[in-house]
Amino acid sequence: MKRWLRHHRYAFVVALRRFRKQPFSSLSNILVISLTLAIPIVAASLLVSAQPVLRQIPVSPEITLFLTPDAESGQADTLARRLETEHNEEVLGTRVVTREQALRSLKSDPTWSNALAALPGNPLPDAVVITLRDSAELAQTAGSLAAAWREIDIVDAVQLDSDWVRRLEALLRFARIGLGLLAAGVALVVLSTVFNTVRLQALTQREEIAVARLVGATEAFVRRPFLYLGALTGIASSLIATGLAALALQPLNAALNRLASTYGTQLAVQLPDALSLTLSAGLVAILAALSARWSVTRNTRF
């Protein structure tokens, strides 16, 4: 155990020494990776901060069934109870709006009062307003139910305003796909940058590696400092990227607060929680270490 710890301590010290030997190159690589990592951190901050706002948006669409003009009084109540019973899993609640209630509501609006006064009777039908439960496939469920309810004999028309639900689902799918592609791009940048850095280090120290192999150094012993070099590069880049993201959020929050104040509310974009940032830094360090191992294996001969 002591020997294993001694080897790892030696590899860690060698990695730090190589950082000091080429400070400009090391800092340049770290800065490139940091700027790349800061982009998904800011994007994740926007999504995390937007979730509480999105939860306040009602996501249960309403389907309105307009009955035929010759429908008898009371059929709307019967239909509402029937649909609520048959589709208990999908329907959250129903509400009946009689033609008299609809007429009184329109007459209370000065825009419609004069026009309705010229009509001999009430042209409005009874209506059943159905509120659906929230579900993963809300838009698809609403569309299928509306299509089925159009076939009811006493239903003259069905109104379903679920376009905003489809837009929201499409936007969320786009955001998830975009973040996935962004994460893949960031991973490629980390891998390529660390790969080239370790490649240059290995090529410049090929003679030193050859001498170490001649005196009995194992491949793992020779590779270990490069692995620490890659991991340290990933950790340092993640820390700097977090700081850059925090700085970038300050002017963004200032502009967002000015916009939110015009609507009488307050909004702020916060960084992801510490656990998420720590796990992300660990993942970046692992990717960088794997890239370093691949590079030193490919560009040196033992």
* Per-residue pLDDT tens over the stretch 178-201: 777 877 877 787 778 777 777 766
Over 80: is that where the pLDDT of 162 sits? Answer: no
Q: How confident is the model at residue 25 (pLDDT cuts 50, 70, 90)?
A: confident
Which letter does DSSP use for residue 63 in this model?
E
Cα separation, 206 vs 223, whole angstroms: 12
pLDDT top residue among 260 and 258:
258
Average pLDDT of the chain is 77
Cα angle: 26, vertex 214, 226; to 5 degrees: 20
Is residue 298 within 8 A of residue 198, CB to CB? The reply is no
- Region 88-113: mean pLDDT is 79
Is residue 78 within 8 A of residue 128, CB to CB? The reply is no
What is the reported pLDDT for 203?
65
pLDDT top residue among 12 and 284:
284
Pairing of strands 62-67, 127-132: antiparallel
Over 60: is that where the pLDDT of 57 sits? Answer: no
Cα separation, 288 vs 106, whole angstroms: 67
Q: Which tokens belong to 295?
A: 């590079």
What is the reported pLDDT for 198?
72
pTM of the full predicted structure? Answer: 0.60
Structural domains in the chain, CATH included, are: 7-56+167-299 (no CATH), 62-161 (3.30.70.3040)
Helices (H), the chain: 2-21, 23-55, 75-86, 99-107, 110-117, 138-149, 163-204, 206-214, 219-261, 274-299
| Each residue's pLDDT tens digit, 116-159 | 666 666 777 888 888 888 776 776 787 788 888 888 888 888 88
What is the reported pLDDT for 118?
64
Extended beta strands in 195-249, E state: none
Least confident of 3-12, 181-190, 285-294: 3-12
pLDDT top residue among 285 and 170:
285
What is the reported pLDDT for 205?
63
Q: Which tokens belong to 238?
A: 């993640």
Comparing CA positions, the residue from 262, 279, 87, 252 lying closest to residue 183 is 279
